[in-house]
Amino acid sequence: MAEGGHKPFAGQLALVTGASRGIGEATALALAEAGAHVILTARDGKALESVEERIFAAGGSATIAPVDLAEPDGIARLATAIRGRWQALDIMVINAALCPQLTGVVDIDQAAWNKALTVNLLATQSLIAHFDSLLRNSPDPRVLGMTSTVATAPRAYWGAYASTKAAFEVLLDCYAQEVTNVSKIRVAILNPGATRTAMRARAYPGEDPASVKPPETVAARVVSLLGERFASPHRETVNLLP
């Protein structure tokens, strides 16, 4: 978080997907506190308005852009709207994700899995494709994607979600390698680890929420990392911080 009035991202534009709650909300608030103008995207417009109000109340600036990443032209419309107002995008945080019901591979619900693939993977490619040119217009463009432990450490009954996040990581890694020597774009893949979110509560219904870190801990690391000259692609897991 910004301290002592320091605004490291003053004058910068940040786009955060899944910004209506959890890690996305905390990240949007933290980026706004650090001086960025944050474009808030998610399906729930009312929830986005609440986040926007919190940012305004804290002296920050934001714009809400309700969009369903699963809609065929949702991201294209979002990009057109942003391009019509701004010339460059400095930060893109790809946080929105869907976790299908935990089940054995043989019992995966195809409709739910297809939607997760659309939001977690296909939408990621679409975001990159539609915002690459705006990112290249920034003097210091950064893309940060939120992943999951199960992407690289698969476990039983997590096949549907884990497979989408594994593909998500590969896609971002490939993009990072493609742009490293021909642009200033830097890509980070961040695993928030066990975090107090609604998604985790559904996956671990018997877990004491107080036993895992709050989203604000992850958001603080996001802001810190985005301010660093990290090598691309960068990977790390956010552990429990003091």
pLDDT per residue, tens digit, the chain (242 aa), is 455 567 999 999 999 999 999 999 999 999 999 999 999 999 999 999 999 999 999 999 999 999 999 998 999 999 999 999 999 999 999 999 999 999 999 999 999 999 999 999 999 999 999 999 999 999 999 999 999 999 999 999 999 999 999 999 999 999 999 999 999 999 999 999 888 888 888 888 888 888 888 999 999 999 999 999 999 999 999 986 54
Measured CA to CA, the distance from residue 163 to residue 192 in angstroms comes to 17
Q: Domain with 143 in it: what CATH number? A: 3.40.50.720
Q: Per the domain annotation, does 4 fall within a domain?
A: no
Q: Per the domain annotation, does 5 fall within a domain?
A: no
Measured CA to CA, the distance from residue 27 to residue 21 in angstroms comes to 10
| C-beta neighbour count of 197 within 10 angstroms | 21
Residue 40 sits at φ, ψ, to 5 deg, of -100, 120
Please check whether residue 240 is in contact with residue 217, taking contact to mean a CB–CB distance below 8 angstroms: yes
Name the nearest CA neighbour of 94 among 217, 9, 176, 198: 176
Q: Per the domain annotation, does 72 fall within a domain?
A: yes
Measured CA to CA, the distance from residue 167 to residue 105 in angstroms comes to 17
Q: Per the domain annotation, does 2 fall within a domain?
A: no
| C-beta neighbour count of 169 within 10 angstroms | 18
Q: Which two tokens stand for residue 4?
A: 């002592």
> How many structural domains compose the chain?
1
Q: Per the domain annotation, does 33 fall within a domain?
A: yes
Q: Which two tokens stand for residue 61?
A: 């600036």
| C-beta neighbour count of 223 within 10 angstroms | 23
Q: Per the domain annotation, does 1 fall within a domain?
A: no
Measured CA to CA, the distance from residue 141 to residue 126 in angstroms comes to 17
Q: Per the domain annotation, does 7 fall within a domain?
A: no
Measured CA to CA, the distance from residue 135 to residue 148 in angstroms comes to 25
Domain range for residue 178? 13-237
Instruction: Specify the pLDDT at position 210.
Output: 85
Q: Which two tokens stand for residue 105?
A: 């591979």
* pTM more than 0.85: yes
Instruction: Specify the pLDDT at position 240.
Output: 63
Q: Which two tokens stand for residue 2?
A: 């910004």
Q: Per the domain annotation, does 193 fall within a domain?
A: yes
